[in-house]
Amino acid sequence: MKLKRSASLVGAVAVGAMLLTACGSDANVESAAGTDSAATCEGKSPLTGEGSSAQQNAMSNFTSIYSGVCSGQAVEYTTSGSGNGRTQFVAGLVDFAGSDSTIKDEQAAQAAERCEGNPAWNLPLVFGPIAVAYNLDGVDNLVVTPEIAARIFNGQITTWNDPAIAAANEGATLPSTPITPIYRSDSSGTSDNFQRFLSAAAPEAWTLDHSSDWAGGVGEGANGSSGVAQAVAATPGSITYVEKGFAEQESLGMASVDFGNGPVELSSETAGAAIDTATFSGEGNDLAIDIDALYASDAADSYPLVLATYEIVCSAGYDADTSAAVKSFLLSAANEGQEGLEAAGYVPLPESFKERLVTAINAIA
């Protein structure tokens, strides 16, 4: 990565379990993560977080591994959508928010007040590729362009044999089946990111605003990442935007996307190639990604339709027990917690980015 400037509990059971590996030995922890990046296993328990459902599988991984590194330490994370997570964090009802979008400008002042006069930081712990997932019998290798996706989700393309889709899929037999777009009905960072992608990559076709609420106006809504994936699995002719891991769980088709230099299949390698080109838009230890620049990329063999999913935390202003627990959990997630993420459909942090993240975590006061 270039470093230039520019509601269900998933953790209670996994984290509450007392695993065999304890953190009583400093030598064991340091050997796993290094002196400066090791979890200290200190602070309050349980730590509480809420928000992104895109993070759900990653958070299960993080919390389970954290309990292995720090026996007896618990994290309770509620999946309620990114918007709800940010609201709960700003209100002081949870210790951190999970969000697929950075803290909104209108919430920044409230977040600073909640953090005792200190700014909140956006710290990305994992990247999640967004699949254009579909259910269309007999079509195994669908290709779409950003413009086609935009015109499907704004209602201009309504059948699978539309000439635009046929032109992108030369030689394929496409049925006249009506297209049913499925969108997130809850306040969703994935919706925000997908609409931002359409605005950046197909600005003439997608003229609607982007936010955590879906602006498309056509199709059917479903709640959460698992909800839209399940809805597509149950609806022939449907299409959605959803994180790769959830599409795989439902065995959905995942379209290759032609960003301008030929169709690109979604894989850890092609998503990772895009992530390696990402830049920061935040200042100092606020590690917000310049996502609009990433989404406008058309580099060959690169799949830039990815979301950076953040933990939003106070840079300072926590009490001592909460600060220690936040830092300990995030350090574990940034290091040992990255193991197993690829199998869950995510892209682990690049090493160069991890160094920057660990520095920011250690700076939390």
Known binding site for phosphate: residues?
Answer: 52-54, 82, 100, 188-190
**Most distant CA pair in the chain, distance:** 64
Tokens 């704004």 -> residue: 154
Helix or strand run (H / E) with residue 11 = none
Cα–Cα distance, 128 to 71 (Å, whole number): 28
What angle, 0 to 180 degrees and rounded to 10, lies between the N-to-C axes of helices 82-90 and 105-114? 40
Element (H, E) at 166: helix 163-168
Length in residues, the chain = 365
Strands 75-79 and 8-9: antiparallel
- Which residues are 121's β-sheet partners? 313
Tell me 159's DSSP state. Answer: B
Angle of helix 189-201 relative to helix 82-90, nearest 10 degrees, comes to 120
Nearest to 55 by CA among 278, 245, 248: 245
| Closest by CA position to 190, among listed 105, 247, 238, 143 | 247
Strand order of the sheet with strand 256-258? 143-144, 256-258, 263-264
The H or E element containing residue 349 is: none
Please name which of 209, 154, 162, 141 lies closest in space to residue 183, comparing C-alpha atoms.
154
**What distances in angstroms separate CA 362 from CA 114, 328, 329, one per listed residue?**
20, 9, 11
Instruction: Return d(Cα 303, Cα 300) in angstroms, integer.
Output: 9
d(CA 259, CA 300): 8
| Positions at the binding site | 52-54, 82, 100, 188-190
